[in-house]
Amino acid sequence: MLCVVEQLGIVDYAAGLALQHERVAQRKAGAIPDTLLLLQHPRVFTFGRNAHRQHLLVSPEFLKSRGAQLFETDRGGDVTYHGPGQIVGYPILDLTQHSRDIAWFMRSLEEVFIRVAADYGFEAGRVAGATGVWIGNEKLVAMGVHISRWVTSHGFAFNVNTDLRYFEWIVPCGLRDRGVTSLKKLLGRPVDLTEASKRVIEHFGSVFGMEMEPPRAAVSSTAVHV
């Protein structure tokens, strides 16, 4: 089974959301194969469907004054942060071609990053009742998805070189007793994003049993780089 990879660089959140909608419609119509969008967003905070507004610890006006955006989305989960140095992935998969099982999909996404973390020498794992990938008490990868007619959207946020100070303005994923980490923090040095993306792509293909088409830069007219 084929999965096309689109590596898009830095894309505004609204433009990335529009591109997801476009790719989901195309996948539902059978016009494209499964697709993995990999990108970064400028500083933005997003609320999931189950978000509690009190988990944003500052005002929207404060965020705007600091150059950050705020969006409400249809993904699962609470509030989270996206920014430069973070690999964001949006898998557009037709689960009827894999397994009509959302739990299987989420556990498979987690497995991808458990393997990626192992490549960098870290033992990552899962926490019962808290979706994502953890190293100790700190989250390395946040996840929140949307499923429509068994086609997936939204996905994961992998902290590679992310500036973790921005997480101080929220209760990440609504979990007050846990922290957030990054590969940069764990290793004590910046990590090459191209290399990290390569490892994500390789393990994604292995876990989901797909042939990953060589990465290509292909931004829809609805998705504009910033």
Would you say 98 and 208 are in contact if contact means Cβ atoms under 8 Å apart? yes
**In the chain, what are the domain boundaries?**
2-216
- What is the pLDDT confidence band of residue 225, given thresholds at 50, 70 and 90? very low
Single out the catalytic residue among 24, 170, 173, 219.
Answer: 173
Catalytic residue flag (residue 3):
no
Give strand ranges (E) for the chain.
2-10, 34-40, 44-47, 69-72, 79-82, 86-92, 125-127, 130-135, 138-148, 151-159, 179-180, 211-216
pLDDT per residue as tens digits for the range 74-126: 888 888 999 999 999 999 999 999 999 999 999 999 999 999 999 999 999 99
Q: What is the CATH number of domain 2-216?
A: 3.30.930.10
In terms of pLDDT, which residue wins out, 59 or 170?
59
Among candidates 128, 111, 132, which has minimal Cα distance to 200? 111
Band (pLDDT 50/70/90 cuts) for residue 4 is: very high
Summarised one tens digit per residue, pLDDT across range 23-45 is 999 999 999 999 999 999 999 99
Q: Is the pLDDT of residue 219 over 50?
A: no
Residue 162: band (very low, low, confident or very high) from pLDDT cuts 50, 70, 90: very high
Closest listed residue to residue 62, CA positions, set 160, 190, 172, 169: 169
